[in-house]
């Protein structure tokens, strides 16, 4: 595991558990103790690497009997998945979140590798080349939403 940071190691650990089961329930402090890190590091990993865009649903309960539950998202069909993703995109989206959505579509066989690369090229910072980050995120969201809608109607 040389060359990996603690976040990568924690992510790999949780994904290994999720490969054996569709859901994992953890206590933040116990996992932090296991990896000899602060509990906020566990929050960081969960908040950045186990998002709905990447195909995970996270629930948490605070307090003494608190837990963090991570589940792999299983959507009923491609149309449901596309509708969910369109809702997640909203009015603006970062390049990183766009990448996560495109990766999810590819992993779920909703799009081919070529399609994924075309979407990423069309929505990249280099392609949009705007000096205004907010305007760029809004334009990226419109492009991505349009492409997702096209995929949705193509499958009906």
Residue bearing the bigger pLDDT, 153 or 37: 37
Buried/exposed 107-129: b ≥16 CB within 10 Å, e otherwise: eeebbeeeebeebeeebeeeeee
CATH architecture for segment(s) 78-154: Orthogonal Bundle (1.10)
CATH 1.10.1200.150, the chain: domain bounds: 78-154
Q: What is the pLDDT of residue 76?
A: 46
Identify which has the larger pLDDT, 145 or 85: 145
Backbone angles phi, psi at 107, to 5 degrees: -60, -30
Confidence (pLDDT) at 3: 62
- Render pLDDT for 47-81 as a digit per residue (tens, 0 to 9): 889 987 777 888 887 766 678 989 887 554 567 77
CB 117 within 8 A of CB 102: no
Average pLDDT over the chain reads 86
Q: By the 8 A CB rule, do 71 and 57 touch?
A: yes
What global pTM score does this model have? Answer: 0.58
User: Which CATH number is correct for 6-72, 3.30.56.130, 3.40.50.300, 3.30.420.250, 3.40.50.1000?
Assistant: 3.30.56.130
Residue 2 has pLDDT above 90, yes or no: no
Question: 104 or 113: whose pLDDT is higher?
Answer: 113
**Residue with more model confidence, 16 or 22:** 16
What is the average pLDDT across 18-45? 89
Kindly state the average pLDDT of the residues 109-134: 93
The residue that leads in pLDDT, 87 or 78, is 87
């Amino acid at each position: 595991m040389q060359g990996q940071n603690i976040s990568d190691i924690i992510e790999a650990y949780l994904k290994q558990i999720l490969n054996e089961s569709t859901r994992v329930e953890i206590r933040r402090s116990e996992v932090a103790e296991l990896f000899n890190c602060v509990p906020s590091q566990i929050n960081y990993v969960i908040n950045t690497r186990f998002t709905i865009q990447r195909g995970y649903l996270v629930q948490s309960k605070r307090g003494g009997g608190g837990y963090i539950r991570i589940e792999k998202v299983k959507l009923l069909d491609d149309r449901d998945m596309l509708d969910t993703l369109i809702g997640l995109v909203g009015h603006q989206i970062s390049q990183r979140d766009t990448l996560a959505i495109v990766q999810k579509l590819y992993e779920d066989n909703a799009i081919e590798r070529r399609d994924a690369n075309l979407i990423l090229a069309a929505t990249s910072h280099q392609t949009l080349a705007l000096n205004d980050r907010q305007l760029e995120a809004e334009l990226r969201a419109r492009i991505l939403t349009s492409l997702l809608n096209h995929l949705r109607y193509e499958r009906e």
